[in-house]
A = this chain, B = another copy of it.
């Protein structure tokens, strides 16, 4: 096992009716900004629940945060906050709203151009406190330090992380996700699954507890994912998806083990260039990454085949192949297509992806830092 530091102070309020409890989690004299996306929270009753929980409080609103939240949009919120002296942010929505709000939280007190936090790794030294009311299980943003932001002007999708943007609390009420369209639920399943794979499917370091916990999440997603798509209002099934997605990226299964993230880094460029949903890019790229890097991931691929897919017969090669194809089949089974051609993207995009990765310094990806641009090209060639 590798040395690690684990720290995650996010308070999780999980279950039916928990939105009613947010009032006590926010300082009584706070000037609160509710941030949200395209307005689905107004259609599904979440907005009303939040407003009711904050009745009589000093509340502002900022809507319109888009998927893959845009720097340009978020900076409008920063301006509003500075003008009004707002001092607490409440993100109500999915991962994009949470990520965008993290950026806002860090940008408000930032001296200089806040895009430098992502583009130049400028340190975050202060941030407004924030909470989250989650309405889409997928990114894990509700219980971590990470945010991915897109600069529309230059079509760049970059990330930053800081312990200062840990939400103070996150409400996870599975019922708020019942009205999600199947596409978003399927995307969430693929996103959470891939988060686990990035932290699990590397090489063994004798960390059996972390391995088994990662496998626990994968198996739960495999069992509960299709069920919750078939019965979107079954509470327990949806609750299991929600908790799995949060646990997939809260730091716990990463503690003491190597991490990959090749698939995510390539995927970000595909979203930036072609507008694919984040999870669609993961569904396309992950099977190819596993195939191209199979030799160095061999032991973990065999363990994955055995423990997650119960593959026992056949040669090692057969089990590895089957495990990878089962991964692809699982993504397809939850409605997320796994080939670039499914999204009308051809292999002629490869040079642009390579160029952008190079521009963003992503030239030595993966747990062994051996995924250079040539290897990325091989991976993308398999994504056709």
Contacts and interface: CB of A to CB of B under 8 A. Distances in A.
A5 B1 contact: no
27 contacts: A1-B14, A3-B15, A3-B16, A4-B15, A5-B13, A5-B14, A6-B11, A6-B14, A7-B9, A8-B9, A9-B9, A12-B255, A206-B236, A206-B240, A207-B236, A207-B240, A208-B224, A208-B240, A209-B217, A209-B247, A210-B243, A212-B215, A213-B213, A215-B216, A216-B216, A239-B256, A243-B256
Interface string A74-97: 000000000000000000000000
B5 A244 contact: no
Interface residues of A, number: 43
A220 interface: yes
A2 interface: yes
A209 B215 CA distance: 10
Given A3-B16, A3-B17, A212-B215, 4 more contacts: A2-B15, A5-B14, A206-B237, A207-B236
Contact of A7 (B2, B6, B12, B17): B12
A14 B4 contact: yes
- Determine how many copies of this chain the complex contains: 2
Interface in A198-251: 205-210, 212-213, 215-217, 219-220, 223-224, 236-237, 239-240, 243-244, 247
A378 interface: no
A322 interface: no
A299 interface: no
Interface string A247-269: 10000100110000000000000
Given A209-B217, A212-B220, A236-B206, A6 B2 contact: no
